[in-house]
Structure 1
Amino acid sequence: MVPSTMASTPACWLVLLAWLTLCRAAPTPVTQVLPSPVQDEAFAEEYLSQFYADVGITNSSFRSITLTSFNESLQDMQAFFGLEATGVLNNETVEAMKAPRCGVSDISKYGHFAGRPKWGKRLITYRITRYTRDLSQSLVDSTIAHAFKLYSDVIPLDFQQIYRGNADIMILFKGGYHGDFYPFDGPNGVLAHANSPGIAEGGDTHFDDDEMWTLTQRGVNLLLVAAHEFGHALGLDHSRTRSALMFPTYRYVNTNGYKLPDDDRRGVQALYGSRTPNPKPNPPPVPEPEPEGPTEEPEPMPDPAINPSGEKCSRSLVFDAACSIRGDLFFFKSGYYWRRRQRDIVLTKVSSKWPQINHVDAACSVPHKDFVYLFEDQRYWGIKAYTKKIIPGYPKPITGLGLPSSVSKVDAAVYVATTGKTLIFAKSQYWSYDESRNQMDPGYPRYISQDFPGIGSKVDAAFTNYGYIYFSNGPRQMEYLLAYKRVTRTLLNYGWLNCY
């Protein structure tokens, strides 16, 4: 029997029962977790420990910051970023801490920079051991070369990419732990870091591959970050100037025609001096393109008996051929060649080095094979790059490469490491030779002016340097960025021979 008190209120029981049923069936509400002052303080302590605390000299993986030094370190950080140095954590300071940045410390006591370290030689080699997934290998190569060139334009250092062995600066893209004491932290935190100059790991540079690397405003611009990190690899500390490349946090700027900001230029020149006088003379007026077609008359053969030493500093100097061999540049003219080793220039007669060869029409180096190919008329020689000696079995006919018998001579040849192809130029056309398959690619010849806009319809000499291809057409030379198919500068040939 139901008690009278309950029988008098059956609706209340029904409502209560329905409410209890709903409570059991409803999911547990999700509480939105918002940053709290406690979380911000923990984040700030970690940030200051990483970027504003002393690094133990006996263990480079150890960083510490005490509670008593928190306010002092916070003041240092606020002063560095141009904030009000109160030593009190506020939203503006936390926002600055959370900006994407370089992984190198902001304080000059940081061990990498003790004693103003710098490289004690003029030619610095670098090697990319692991590439990002976001860009093609050729784009990474050309962008890294461009970043180094920002410095070689203003200081007397040269940079050369190698593909095997140990380089002065070893470069890799990898997320998380990557072999040092400073693992990366995922997207939008630490973007990259680099060591200062020195033996062993000195200059080594690492990029967080959890970032989205681009060449635009989207994601993280590789040119800007690489140029910043290479500043560290050359000995530069962080700058307090917000417009400087070496300011610690990342900020995109338009990279079209980008040059080192004044603050960074003065800093690196204080270490290495200036590259003066400028070896890049003003270009002459660009002539009208030559007409295309197979009826073009062949160039007259130079007289090999004429010593070209008197032409060395002529603004009208035309190269017969050019190539880079194990870091040295060779420029061929009238049966001779100038060899440029760093800043030294030596003139040598071709036949005194290779008695079988009178003059060189074209030359190219294939580094991974350690081969150099020298072309004369309708023959070519294989040279061992290390010894500079002719390989047995040469010369061979150029038709053996797949060129038609109608080609009387090769005008220029250049090996492109990013594609594994040797480009062979004759008159207004060119061929692509696949070095891995040892045969000519199908679909050739093609017209030069169609595939290489801006360089004209003929190539007299071609070579690679700093990640660019340099095409000579008469006395003019075009610095060409193959990945973008565009001319970045127009120079004169004689600028490579210490003529100003």
Structure 2
Amino acid sequence: MRVGNLPFLLLLCAALSCAFPANTRQTKEEGMQLIQKYLENYYGFKKDGEPFVWKSDNAMTQKLKEMQEFFGLEVTGKLDSGTLDLVQKRRCGFPDVAGFSTFAGEPKWTKHVLTYRIVNYTPDLGPAEVNVAIRKALRVWSSVTPLRFIQKDRGHNDFIPFDGPGGSLAHAYAPGKDFGGDAHFDEDETWTKSTEGTNLFYVAAHEFGHSLGLSHSKDPNALMYPVYRKFDPSVLLLHQDDITGIQYLYGPSSNTNNDQTESTEIKDPTESKDPALPNSCSSNLTFDAVTTFRGELIFFKDKHIWRKHPAVRTADFELISSFWPRLPPGVDAAYEIPEKDEMVIFKGNEFWVVRGDTILSGYAQKLYTLGFSKDVSKIDAAFHNGIEGKTYYFIADKFWSYDERSQSVERKSSLIRDAFPGINGKIDAVFQHENFLYFFSGRKQFEFDLNKKRVTRLLKTNFWFPC
């Protein structure tokens, strides 16, 4: 199946105006200006130009009551301290509605495989950290729906200004043409991957709810509640209200618990009765190749791959042809070059270079173009060490290193056991995660500490899956 390219964009944007400072005492006039601006931004209030007077039937008073009712405050229609405190909190830039709620007309994407691209990156975090946060935020929604997301290659041009630090953090658009699905993030915020500052993952997960068709919820426990909260990584992000809303649009996922509980039973389509499908929890499981790719782990087996984020319990099971229709099944090896945003995949005496779901032009190429002799018929495993700028190729019980800078492979091979004590004989796959290498050989997996130069753990091949 060819993946559709839908207009699903992410942008990190510079602010165009300044917000009122939070946690300072406001004069009555400043308070009225603040609440008026808030009601204009989030509740559709239209100023008539007349000086505001507190009247029960006044349009602004009615909007203020609507806002107080939405947030569960005492409905007074007056600017009391609780209301003033709430309007100074950081929040989503999209207007409020009750519910779980969808946008008018219930717009949604017609395809379940959506592509996205990040147009520019915040300087607060490294590009790799941004990529991980965005993928993790998208996985929040794919874990409870049939939706799948693929990053495409890499301004804020919707003419809706941000408001400086605090206030509105981000906004997003419902599915549709032009700006449809776009999510914009205020660059005047301090974006982080922790509980300090503004957590990019948390805000992105909320905004992507809008990009997929959800409006705001008035349930204070829901992810789609408009006010920003300190992100607690120990608490499940989606509330039942969020799950009910997104599944109303797209239906439930076929391979996960709808309540996101930490089940010990893997929800994986490979557990079907079809004997041709690999089972991720089988004691006999072996892999053709394993690699990191854009913050995820990719496990290759015959015609299929598993995609899994190391910090997320569930795994997505896909056909290789869903992403790369020209790639053959049963690949031999794969590795990632993060600094180039590329993955190199080997089968027999050929290899391909992919970026996202695109195979770069000019591939496949033969192994000898890398500098191997023409009698080398296949690569068993490979991994890339970005710090060294070298790639290691494993063939039988030996390995060669390839210098990415000089574009040359060393002439002489080395024994695997000499450079990696405890790793003996032929290996099936290898990848690097943090400061460890993970070698796969048959039904075993060896964790190798790069600093201590020794094997630290013997693991099952399906260690990374919730079996």
Q: TM-score, normalised by structure 2?
A: 0.64
Q: Deviations over 1:101-157 (max 9, x none)?
A: 110000369x99211111111111111111111111111111111111111111110
Report what 2:143 is aligned to.
153
Assess, with a 3 A threshold, how the Cα gap between structure 1 residues 371 and 317 changes in structure 2: closer, same or farther. closer
User: Would you say 1:212 and 2:190 are equivalent positions?
Assistant: yes
Structure 1 position 200, deviation (Å): 2.0
Change in CA separation of 1:70 and 1:436 when aligned onto 2, cut-off 3 Å: farther
Structure 1 CA distance for aligned equivalents of residues 187 and 398 of structure 2: 40
| SS of structure 2 residue aligned to 1:156 | coil
The residue number in structure 2 matching 1:312 is 278
Q: 1:246-300, CA deviations, whole angstroms, 9 ceiling, x for partnerless residues?
A: 111111132147442222122211211111243999589xxxxxxxxxxxxxxxx
Q: 2:368 aligns with which of 396, 400, 425?
A: 396
Partner of 2:225: 247
Which residue is 2:11 aligned to?
none
Change (3 A) 1:80 1:439: farther
Partner SS for 2:36: helix
- Secondary structure of the 2:119 match is strand
User: What aligned pairs does 1:6-405 form with structure 2 within 5 A after superposition?
Assistant: 35-53=26-44, 68-107=58-97, 113-164=103-154, 178-256=156-234, 258-278=236-256, 310=276, 312-313=278-279, 315=282, 316-321=284-289, 331-333=300-302, 337-338=303-304, 345=319, 360-364=331-335, 372-376=344-348, 379-382=349-352, 391=363, 394-396=366-368, 400=372
**Paired position in structure 2 for 1:29:** none
Q: State the alpha-carbon separation in 1 of the partners of residues 265 and 428 from structure 2.
A: 17
Asked if 1 retains the 8 angstrom alpha-carbon contact of 2:393 and 2:401, the reply is no
**Number of residue equivalences:** 378
TM-score by length of structure 1 reads 0.60
Higher helix proportion, which one?
1
Aligned-residue Cα RMSD (Å) equals: 5.2
Q: CA deviation at 1:215?
A: 1.5
- The answer on whether the counterparts of 1:370 and 1:386 sit within 8 Å (CA) in structure 2 is no
Contact 2:98 2:218 survives alignment (8 Å): no
In 2, Cα distance between the equivalents of 1:217 and 1:142?
Answer: 16
Partner residue in 2 for 1:482: none
Residue aligning to 2:269: none
SS at match of 1:312: coil
Question: How many Å separate the matches in 2 of 1:262 and 1:428?
Answer: 52
Structure whose CA Rg is larger: 1
Structure of higher RCO (CA pairs closer than 8 Å, 6+ residues apart): 2
After TM superposition, where is structure 1 displaced by more than 6 Å over at least 4 residues in a row? 339-344, 365-371, 383-390, 418-422, 427-432, 444-448, 469-473
- Paired with 1:252 and 1:64, the residues of 2 have a C-alpha distance of 33
Counterparts in 2 of 1:192 and 1:491: CA distance versus 1, 3 Å: farther
User: CA separation in 1, counterparts of 2:319 and 2:403?
Assistant: 33
Q: Identity over the aligned pairs, expressed in percent?
A: 35
Task: Check 1:123–1:87 CA distance in 2 against 1; reply closer, same or farther (3 A cut).
Answer: same
